[in-house]
Chain A
Amino acid sequence: MTAPAIARGAAGRAVDTTRPRRRRTSLRRRLTIAAFIAPSVLGLVIFFAYPLLASIYYSFTNFNLVSAPQWIGLRNYTYLFTEDPLIVTATLNTLWFVAILVPVRIVTAMGVAGLLARAKRASGFWRTLFYLPALVPPVASVVAFVFLFNPGTGPVNQVLAFFGIKGPLWFNDPAWSKPSLLLLGVWVMGDLMIIFLASLLDVPADQYEAASLDGANGLQKLRYVTYPNLIPVLVFAVITGVIAALQYFTEAAVASSVASGQATVGGSAAQVIGYPSDSLLTYTQWLYERGFANFQLGYASAMAVVLFVVAGLFLVLLLGRVKAFTPEGAR
């Protein structure tokens, strides 16, 4: 009884038959589709749209989680832009990671990928070797780096001393703490490297052959064949890298608390955050500190809204390029 009906239904869909039947199947289809996407739509509303709007509302209030939010107009924003004693430090630290960490990571990842793309022998071995650090959980890698770069007894300064170099204080010196995290960021560049490598290996070989026939040298091939093929990946890497750097938190927070040898962030530890001398205090850590350690949730929301606007600008850039990294766009 059901089999022929379904067969007709399927055929009907294919050749677009009479209206009533089409409506019936499309209603069923619609219900199925609704069931498929309902959890995610609900999730986007509850964990994305609502909190975004609520953040904007809270940012105009004085709110400490215990009593109801109190409307105070633009005071959080005027405080943020004119009075907050650490906002400039926190912003500049974050911008340091955006401006230095992102390009250095990309250049390193691309360099290593370039070498690996040419190494035909034992390519699996090389790939695994350079990818492995990316697997280490961030907290573990930070703890390990703080130990390795321990100024007195750490292996790095021991090895440097062997070569007659007096190593710096690394995570304990405000001038060296960010470069120390930069080294960590380079060490874990494997995820980026894999993306670049895949993209390099996918450049059609006939494009290089055509360039060779036209008499292009190695550098010209790099400029006119390799580079254009890499652009979508590069755009993706830059924009996701910048957004990740804007929310730089875990590495800096853990490095501060571990290097200072004191209690963790989040406890009673305002003195630890940003150690040494606020050099590792990033924007998101300051937001966390104001909101969740001092319970100035209204002010933290104002900081969140500013972060949203800045990250949003980069998102617009990305969405403009969204075709570049969807399969339809790639072809």
Chain B
Amino acid sequence: MTAETMTTTLPADRRARDRGRRPKAMLLWIAEHTVLCVLAVLFLFPVVFVLLTSLMSSSQTLTPSLWPNPFDWGNYVRAFTQAPLALWFGNSLLYAVLATVFMLVSSVPAAYALAKLRFRGSNVLFVAIIVAMLLPPQVTAVPIYVMWSQLGLTGTLWPLILPNLLGDAFSIFLMRQFFLTIPTEYADAARIDGNGEFGVLTRVIVPMAKPGIAAAAIFMFFNSWNDYFGPLLYTSENSAAWPVAYGLASFRSVHGTDWGITMAMTLIVTIPVVVVFFFAQRVFVEGITLTGVKG
């Protein structure tokens, strides 16, 4: 950590000194920050206007005015009364939390085996996991749908939750990458202390790999919370099983003109993701950069 900061601050200091000497560098700095500020305004524009619209009365959203007059906080209440938002919210939580827990139970040991244990067929398994991770879900959708429909589970969220008990390719990949960075010596020491592989995993690897495991869990939570194709496939017929993201799209389609409520719902759907992100920022960003790129 300290070594890293040193190497990154040294050139920065030098550049700062250069800036004082050369007006050309100063101009470049101003130009860069002008571009950044313009981009920042453009990127913030949607958020600001979604927020403003969510505070407008439904009649005002149909006029060209951009500023709420008067401020109407009622849309946030109406979102819950005009649609079964609480039920959809509950469905989303059930889906996201169970999917995440199931994934952890099944995928942590698999990731550990792939990262730290040598066994025949491990390369084949790893390649299969990468392929499964990157294959469009539509390719296998028909037979899997037939399977769940024969089990009578279509119209529920279980076809989206239960498969996580049998591992999730992306999570296994992500956690394997993280486990690889843990020195093998720690595991060896635990083995000499009399631990079996299960003990090594639970007493050494899991505590040391908390950030990597947390990143995979957050990814799983976000993906389930944001999922649209899955609920469309399995729950579209049964609105009592809709998660909130799917319900939001339907609400807007049916209640054509209620833009104020729709924007309030849009923000409500986003809030859990932003809250989780705020608490896990560092771990999450680490997880993203780790995903594909490097160790």
Chain A residues proximal to chain B, CB less than 8 Å:
2-3, 6-7, 10-11, 13, 28-30, 32-33, 35-37, 39-44, 46-48, 50-52, 54-55, 58, 65, 112, 115-116, 118-120, 126-133, 135-148, 150, 152-153, 155, 158, 187, 191, 194-195, 198-199, 201-202, 205, 208-209, 232-233, 236-237, 240, 243, 246-247, 249-250, 253-254, 257-258, 260-267, 272, 284, 287-288, 291-292, 297, 300-301, 304-305, 307-308, 311, 315, 318-319, 322, 325-328, 330-331
Among the stretches B70-78, B79-87, B243-251, the one at the interface with A is B243-251
Partner of B119, one of A33, A158, A264, A331: A33
Flag if B289 contacts A319 (CB, 8 Å).
no
Flag if B289 contacts A198 (CB, 8 Å).
yes
Interface residues of B in 125-150 (CB under 8 A from A): 125, 127-132, 134-147, 149
* Residue B233 interfacial (CB < 8 Å): yes
* Residue B155 interfacial (CB < 8 Å): no
Given A40-B172, A145-B46, A153-B64, do A284 and B138 touch, yes or no (CB 8 Å)?
Answer: yes
A40 partner residues in chain B, CB cutoff 8 A: 106-107, 110, 125, 129, 166-167, 172
Flag if B191 contacts A10 (CB, 8 Å).
yes
27 examples of A-B residue contacts, CB within 8 angstroms: A36-B109, A36-B110, A37-B119, A39-B106, A47-B132, A50-B143, A65-B146, A115-B35, A119-B33, A120-B12, A137-B226, A143-B248, A143-B249, A153-B62, A153-B63, A153-B64, A195-B292, A198-B293, A236-B293, A237-B292, A250-B229, A254-B249, A261-B253, A266-B236, A284-B136, A292-B145, A297-B142
Given A40-B167, A327-B180, do A133 and B43 touch, yes or no (CB 8 Å)?
Answer: yes
Chain B residues proximal to chain A, CB less than 8 Å:
7-8, 10-12, 32-33, 35-36, 39-40, 43-47, 49-50, 53, 61-64, 66, 106-107, 109-110, 112-114, 117, 119, 125, 127-132, 134-147, 149, 163, 165-169, 172, 177, 180-181, 191-192, 194, 196-198, 201, 222, 225-226, 228-229, 232-233, 236, 245-246, 248-250, 252-254, 256, 259, 262-263, 266-267, 269-270, 273-274, 277, 281, 285, 288-289, 291-295
Counting from the closest, the 6 A-B pairs by CB-CB distance are: A327-B295, A43-B166, A40-B167, A54-B143, A51-B140, A247-B136
Flag if A315 contacts B294 (CB, 8 Å).
no
B63 partner residues in chain A, CB cutoff 8 A: 153
Q: Apart from A135-B273, A254-B228, A311-B135, what are 20 other A-B pairs with CB-CB below 8 Å?
A: A36-B110, A36-B201, A43-B167, A47-B166, A118-B32, A127-B285, A129-B40, A130-B43, A133-B46, A138-B245, A140-B266, A140-B270, A144-B46, A148-B49, A152-B64, A194-B289, A246-B136, A307-B136, A319-B130, A330-B294
B295 partner residues in chain A, CB cutoff 8 A: 326-328, 330-331
A253 partner residues in chain B, CB cutoff 8 A: 228, 232
A131 partner residues in chain B, CB cutoff 8 A: 285
Distance between Cα atoms of A308 and B139 in the complex (Å) = 6
B134 partner residues in chain A, CB cutoff 8 A: 240, 243, 311, 315, 318
Flag if B228 contacts A202 (CB, 8 Å).
no
Partner of A126, one of B11, B36, B266: B36
Flag if A325 contacts B292 (CB, 8 Å).
yes
Distance between Cα atoms of A123 and B233 in the complex (Å) = 41
Partner of B252, one of A143, A195, A236, A249: A143
Flag if B166 contacts A158 (CB, 8 Å).
no
Distance between Cα atoms of A118 and B19 in the complex (Å) = 13
Distance between Cα atoms of A43 and B276 in the complex (Å) = 28
- Nearest residue (CB) in A for B273 is A135
A322 partner residues in chain B, CB cutoff 8 A: 127, 130
A129 partner residues in chain B, CB cutoff 8 A: 40, 43-44
B180 partner residues in chain A, CB cutoff 8 A: 327-328
Given A44-B167, A266-B232, A325-B293, do A315 and B131 touch, yes or no (CB 8 Å)?
Answer: yes
- Nearest residue (CB) in B for A34 is B119
Q: How far is the CB of A46 from chain B (nearest CB, A)?
A: 7
Q: How far is the CB of B207 from chain A (nearest CB, A)?
A: 18
B196 partner residues in chain A, CB cutoff 8 A: 28, 32
Given A36-B112, A145-B46, A330-B294, do A139 and B248 touch, yes or no (CB 8 Å)?
Answer: yes
Q: How far is the CB of A45 from chain B (nearest CB, A)?
A: 9
Flag if B253 contacts A262 (CB, 8 Å).
yes
Distance between Cα atoms of A51 and B274 in the complex (Å) = 35
Flag if B167 contacts A39 (CB, 8 Å).
yes
Flag if B125 contacts A42 (CB, 8 Å).
no
Distance between Cα atoms of A149 and B250 in the complex (Å) = 19
Distance between Cα atoms of A112 and B33 in the complex (Å) = 11
Flag if A139 contacts B129 (CB, 8 Å).
no
Partner of A326, one of B46, B113, B177, B266: B177
Most chain A beta-carbon contacts within 10 A, residue among B40, B228, B293: B293
Distance between Cα atoms of A47 and B135 in the complex (Å) = 12
Distance between Cα atoms of A209 and B11 in the complex (Å) = 9
Distance between Cα atoms of A55 and B140 in the complex (Å) = 7
Flag if B144 contacts A7 (CB, 8 Å).
no
Q: How far is the CB of B200 from chain A (nearest CB, A)?
A: 10
Q: How far is the CB of A320 from chain B (nearest CB, A)?
A: 12
Distance between Cα atoms of A199 and B292 in the complex (Å) = 11
- Nearest residue (CB) in A for B149 is A65
Distance between Cα atoms of A202 and B191 in the complex (Å) = 35
Flag if A147 contacts B232 (CB, 8 Å).
no
B267 partner residues in chain A, CB cutoff 8 A: 140
Distance between Cα atoms of A262 and B233 in the complex (Å) = 19
Q: How far is the CB of A9 from chain B (nearest CB, A)?
A: 9
Q: How far is the CB of A30 from chain B (nearest CB, A)?
A: 7
Flag if A115 contacts B36 (CB, 8 Å).
yes
Partner of B246, one of A3, A54, A139, A287: A139
Distance between Cα atoms of A240 and B291 in the complex (Å) = 11
